[in-house]
Structure 1
């Protein structure tokens, strides 16, 4: 699937649209997109931002500048004064945290930077952030087998505008490996705002599927969705047979056909796909225009756009099928640890 991750349809709208809607609800009015890969697709998707009550400006990197370099590059489009707060959000995060409360904490502490921190069950997968009793950041600890805290960087920052202007321009800069350690070395006031609300890093196919299901089921609220807390979202123009089952927070794109006795559970089925009779799709992504044959089992799998999976096949265990592939044969089982 050849679209940038932030534009993947997530519970029926682009992933990034959930962040735009939340930012607008928190009082943000001007958004600057720092784009690189297939930058034109972002403008095609979101335009001027008027439908969100926002004004969107697009700034493109000619060469990759890293997390900090991208912020510095995009700052040319900011209109805020040197002491004004600027929200910076990663494009592949879904969060239910209170942005207004984070801003209030930032202003009360007169912080240079305020990070949204969340707590996770297994912090070994992330860089941990150690704070003192007043919430001031003491250390950034990269992935460790023995983390000293379960607090991790959740990908939503507030920078004082003047701090952004101090980031070196025209070269790659890392927020995590260069900027934050520099701030601590200089004793700059860096605050960690802990909010344990729903948070998910949509960095893997399994996390993407979970994100779509959680949004549909209402486990995390999004102003971008008119309906939540339902077993499934089915787009207009799709046809689901009366005896088919679509459940578990599944999302069905436009023009999809789900035939008799088929089951779609906790999965994402994109526009124009055909799910034949007695097929079963579980915890999987089915791309645009895919044809899933009768009786096929797709479980924990990714099926690329316009692929054809003929009758009798089983795709399980993380298998990924390339776009426009044809999987034929009878009772062929594909599995992978990917």
Structure 2
């Protein structure tokens, strides 16, 4: 990450107010940005990138379980940051959430992040684009292989944004909104206060209509919305393997990330960017591939788990097969069970030995 003199007089704003409903049951008790991701709360990776870019002052726009963030990060001094918190009493949307932090801003420029996104973008370069283009608003745009799944943002030869388009079967560009914006402070002041505002549907189109200088910073950096279990697992694995960059994982990347306090028995195979949390015990002969295991999990001998998330305190029985599943906190999957793609076991649920199978019991 490039540190830049452009970063010194910049506020970072991170929107972390969502309920993370697509990730339930993981988010029943934990806000999505605080879920363990490659050994750290997801938000820690973004904060480390902000600090590495030379930005010091961070404002978190919180709502759902707001107290969890301050309890963990405090004033940010341990990360070399100054963190402040603003709580939304009622959901205000992306634009309303940005306007809600206005009173905390210290500088004339703010870089705003969607707290759901895992990105490898160079923050210094985005700020440089904003400065050199003398932009009112600069949007990080990322090129994707399949833009049909997203709204897209075309730009002219100079990089100036000329439209915001909804999802379409035949998009005119492969550039999509990557959920990171650089605002001149006055634009934030102009967002209506105290009501729901969508920057994508209301604020940005209005800025174009008013002739404001709206530019795109376009790159092909790593980008993933971490909103679904599949994307969450992939994003965590990409961090572990070094495909997605995080300053927190310098020198630690590889096929697996295992907490020093975990107990991993003989013959265990851990591949595909698997993470094993604190105090977790994995019995002999288990195989885990592309899986996120939280703290205090027990996995009994011979179990096979792939593309899954195993929450804190869960137990996976001997010779169980778990593929593409989310196992909630304290749930117990009995021996020889077979759980297949898309299954979500909610916290505390107990499935008896052999209780769910897709093949005949031998």
- Equivalent residues in 2 for 1:15-26, closer than 5 Å: 15-26=42-53
Provide the residue aligned with 2:166 in structure 1: 142
Unaligned runs of 5+ in 1: none
1:255 aligns with 2:279: yes
Deviation at 1:224, TM superposition (A): 2.1
> How many aligned positions are there?
332
- Equivalent residues in 2 for 1:159-308, closer than 5 Å: 159-308=183-332
Q: Secondary structure at the match of 2:111?
A: strand
Cα distance in 2, alignment partners of residues 102 and 23 from structure 1: 12
Deviation at 1:329, TM superposition (A): 4.3
Cα distance in 2, alignment partners of residues 10 and 312 from structure 1: 28
Q: TM-score, normalising length from structure 1?
A: 0.96
Cα distance in 1, alignment partners of residues 78 and 333 from structure 2: 39
Q: Secondary structure at the match of 2:101?
A: helix
Provide the residue aligned with 2:153 in structure 1: 129
Cα distance in 2, alignment partners of residues 279 and 74 from structure 1: 47
Deviation at 1:226, TM superposition (A): 4.3
1:75-105 per-residue CA deviation (whole Å, 9 max, x = no partner) reads: 111111xxx2210001011111111111111
Provide the residue aligned with 2:20 in structure 1: none
Deviation at 1:236, TM superposition (A): 2.3
Runs of 4+ with deviation above 6 angstroms: none
Cα distance in 2, alignment partners of residues 279 and 331 from structure 1: 15
Provide the residue aligned with 1:103 in structure 2: 127
Deviation at 1:108, TM superposition (A): 0.7
Maintained 8 Å contact 2:317/2:353: no
Maintained 8 Å contact 1:261/1:278: yes
Cα distance in 2, alignment partners of residues 109 and 334 from structure 1: 58
Q: Secondary structure at the match of 1:154?
A: strand
1:93-141 per-residue CA deviation (whole Å, 9 max, x = no partner) reads: 1111111111111011111100000011111221100100110000000
Cα distance in 2, alignment partners of residues 75 and 67 from structure 1: 13
Cα distance in 2, alignment partners of residues 154 and 213 from structure 1: 20
- Equivalent residues in 2 for 1:56-135, closer than 5 Å: 56-80=83-107, 84-135=108-159
Cα distance in 1, alignment partners of residues 355 and 104 from structure 2: 57
Provide the residue aligned with 1:5 in structure 2: 32
Q: Secondary structure at the match of 1:130?
A: coil
1:301-332 per-residue CA deviation (whole Å, 9 max, x = no partner) reads: 11111111111110011111111111124273
Deviation at 1:241, TM superposition (A): 0.6
Q: Secondary structure at the match of 2:249?
A: coil
Provide the residue aligned with 1:55 in structure 2: 82
Maintained 8 Å contact 2:38/2:237: yes
1:15-48 per-residue CA deviation (whole Å, 9 max, x = no partner) reads: 1111101011111110001000000000011110
Q: 1:39 aligns with which of 66, 88, 111?
A: 66
Cα distance in 1, alignment partners of residues 311 and 251 from structure 2: 23
1:153 aligns with 2:207: no
Cα distance in 2, alignment partners of residues 331 and 71 from structure 1: 48
Maintained 8 Å contact 1:69/1:174: yes
Deviation at 1:235, TM superposition (A): 1.0
Q: 1:147 to 1:218 in 2, by over 3 A?
A: same
Q: Secondary structure at the match of 1:137?
A: coil
1:170-228 per-residue CA deviation (whole Å, 9 max, x = no partner) reads: 11111001000101111111001101111111111000000110000011211122443
Cα distance in 1, alignment partners of residues 206 and 356 from structure 2: 55
